[in-house]
Amino acid sequence: MSDTVMADGIEVAQEPDAEIPILFLHGVERTYRQGDEALHILNGAELAIWPGQSVALVAPSGAGKSTLLHIAGLLEHPDHGDVFIDGRATAILPDAERTRIRRNEIGFVYQSHHLLPEFTALENVLLPQMIAGLTRSEAKKRAVELLSYLGLSDRLTHRPAELSGGEQQRVAIARAVANAPRILLADEPTGNLDLHTADHVFAALTQLVRASGLATIIATHNMELASRMDRRVTLREGLVVELE
């Protein structure tokens, strides 16, 4: 529950835990072995993100963006270090609890949409909510709201193959936030789109992020898109480095 405080005569909602980052990567290390060679991809990376903050992760291919996002999203374990979600250490948690946190708190968008081809746009957004325990009618209400918000109200019954690339990605974004996560991780979500469509999808994504107070990391190669986020970071020698 939020407290309400008066600041200079203006009433503002104050989140009790706003001092705590919603996502905190602490001393994260990840090394891959290829034959005799050790690839030190993350070397003690630190990254803290607060609720409502949008962060662009801009780094060359192979720098470790996907690795960082997988670790942040509890899909992969770091070799050392930890990932704190809302102040809670996750490394020592059992897999079932990590999965529960991932399902409830974290949404993912990938470069390819990964929508289920035999289901409609509406069904693709409805299913994760029903898996999480909502009734079909509750899930449908939210799915219609989200898809309409993303400009897809006349595409609800289209299957992925009947949608354009930009529309497919907007459905994938709606699906990623269907269960109202608090963190959205996107790995080059506009990487497969032409510049104009990428711009449109990115605008929809950032508008949704702002409206919902999500914290988000978006890996992108596009500096122009990155410039519209709250912060820009890169990876240098396995560390997260703030840009500007």
57 or 174: CB nearest ligand ADP: 57
With residue 211 as reference, give the H or E element that holds it: helix 195-212
Residue 34 makes contact with ligand ADP by CB under 6 A: yes
24 or 110: CB nearest ligand ADP: 110
> Residue 185 and residue 149: Cα distance in Å, rounded?
20
Dig out the tokens for 41 from the structure.
């991809």
Residue 47 makes contact with ligand ADP by CB under 6 A: no
Residue 65 makes contact with ligand ADP by CB under 6 A: yes
> Residue 199 and residue 191: Cα distance in Å, rounded?
11
111 or 212: CB nearest ligand ADP: 111
165 or 191: CB nearest ligand ADP: 191
Residue 64 makes contact with ligand ADP by CB under 6 A: yes
67 or 216: CB nearest ligand ADP: 67
What mask of x and - would describe binding to ligand ADP in positions 165 to 184, judged by CB under 6 A? --------------------
Residue 63 makes contact with ligand ADP by CB under 6 A: yes
> Residue 23 and residue 4: Cα distance in Å, rounded?
24
The stretch among 34-42, 78-86, 113-121, 160-168 that binds ligand ADP (CB under 6 A) is 34-42
Judged by CB under 6 A, the residue of 32, 46, 100, 145 near ligand ADP is: 32
206 or 234: CB nearest ligand ADP: 234
Residue 137 makes contact with ligand ADP by CB under 6 A: no
User: Sign of dihedral through CA atoms 132, 72, 176, 151?
Assistant: positive
> Residue 206 and residue 178: Cα distance in Å, rounded?
16
Own/partner pairs, 111-118, CB within 8 angstroms, 24+ separation: 111/187, 111/188, 111/189, 111/191, 111/192, 112/192, 113/160, 113/168, 113/169, 113/171, 113/172, 114/172, 115/160, 115/168, 115/171, 115/172, 115/175, 116/160, 117/159, 117/160, 117/161, 118/159
Residue 39 makes contact with ligand ADP by CB under 6 A: yes
The stretch among 31-39, 125-133, 146-154, 174-182 that binds ligand ADP (CB under 6 A) is 31-39
Burial class (CB in 10 A: 0-12, 13-18, 19+), 208: buried
Instruction: State the number of binding residues for ligand ADP (CB under 6 A).
Output: 12
Contact residues toward ligand ADP (CB under 6 A) are: 32, 34, 39, 41, 59, 61-67
